[in-house]
Amino acid sequence: MNAYWAHFKTSFREDMQFFFSDSLIGSVGTLALITIILLLYQATHAALFFGLYTWSMLVWYIITTELLIQSQTGVVSRLSKQIQSGEIVSFMSKPYHYPFALLTKHLGSAAVESIAILMLAIPLGILLAGTATLSAGGIFFGIIAILFALLLDFTLSMSIGLIAFWTEDAGPYRWIYSKTLFILGGLMFPLEIFPSWLQSIAKVLPPAFMLYYPARLVVNFSWDLLITVLIGQLAYLALFSLIAMWMYKRAFRRVSINGG
């Protein structure tokens, strides 16, 4: 356990070293993306999402989904590069379980990214929409749902990254994964924009539990919603963890066969 905590701390400290020059400047891009989406919504002048979302809810919804998507700091590309260069073999042979070490490193980086994004996005949100929509329960349980969403993303990203053992480059699969998240997760718009048949399908799929539901919890907290979100997230987390571990075991065998 100490080894994994050390991985988290090292990764966090490493990224904090360049907090202002890397993370904070990088977050300006995220801020621009949030602004672009909100400018588009401002231009529609439509009754925002059929009366389901107020302007304030929409602003904080978009900030939360962007925070989630931008905090996913490149697990696929990191794994893909390590596999291509053969560097992964040295990590796999270390006296710790590599997937957990990768996860704790990932969480360390994600924490720094989140801090940087929030430092810019919170003032923007307050400026554009105030804080009337936010509640203590929504923020507290929203953070828990965000954490589970990051774990869920990690298990999926790891499975996708491991594809590089068979295809050399997992990049193209990541593009499709991220676009599926954009659309079915509700990155740029709440899922209520879909026709009702598609809405009911999208709301039970994993992307919704990674973006839509955590953001909805933040802007419109209720106990019923919290229970739905946590049950869905834990069920998918169990399923995708099993898939990721199964793929890792197969990949591990492949390394042994090739002699490393």
Partner 1 sequence: MGAKHYLRVLRAYQSLHFKTAMEYRINFFTKSGFMLLNDLMFLLIFMFLFKAFGTINGYSLTYAMLVFGITGMSFGIIAVLFGGRRELWEMILEGRMDFYLSLPIDELFHALGSSSAYDGYGDILFGLLILIFVAPQSLPIGIVGALIGAVVLLSFFILMNCSAFYIEHPKATTTAANDIIVGFASWPLDAYTTKVRTILYLIPIAFIGTVPTHLIQNFSWRELGLLAVVAVVILTVSILIWKAGIKKYESGNLVTTRI
Q: Which residues bind partner 1 (CB under 8 A)?
A: 18, 21-30, 32-33, 36, 39-40, 42-44, 46, 167-169, 171-173, 175-176, 179-180, 182-183, 188-189, 193-195
193: amino acid identity, one letter: I
Residue closer to partner 1 by CB (options 172, 260) is: 172
Of residues 31 and 149, the one with the C-beta less far from partner 1: 31
Burial of 129: CB neighbours in 10 Å, binned 0-12, 13-18, 19+: buried
Answer positive or negative: Cα dihedral of 10, 12, 15, 20: negative
Q: How far is the CB of 248 from partner 1 (least distance, A)?
A: 22
Give least dist CB 2 to partner 1, A: 31
21-46: b or e for each residue (b if 16 or more CB lie within 10 Å)?
eebbeebeebbeebeebbeebeeeee
Write down the least CB distance from residue 179 to partner 1, Å: 4
Find the shortest distance in angstroms from Cβ 81 to partner 1: 13
Phi, psi of 205 (to 5 degrees): -85, 155
Output the smallest distance, CB 45 to partner 1, in A. Answer: 8
Q: Which is nearer to partner 1, 87 or 168 (CB)?
A: 168
Q: Which is nearer to partner 1, 112 or 134 (CB)?
A: 112
CB of 180 to partner 1, least distance (A): 7
Residue 93 CB burial class (10 angstroms; 0-12, 13-18, ≥19): exposed
Nearer to partner 1, 116 or 145 (CB): 116
The label of the residue with tokens 């898939």 reads 243
> Given the complex with partner 1, which of 24 and 230 has the nearer CB atom?
24
* Helix then strand then coil, % of the chain, to nearest 5: 85, 0, 15
Q: What are the start-end ranges of the E strands in the chain? A: none
Asked if 108 and 19 touch (Cβ cutoff 8 Å), the reply is: no
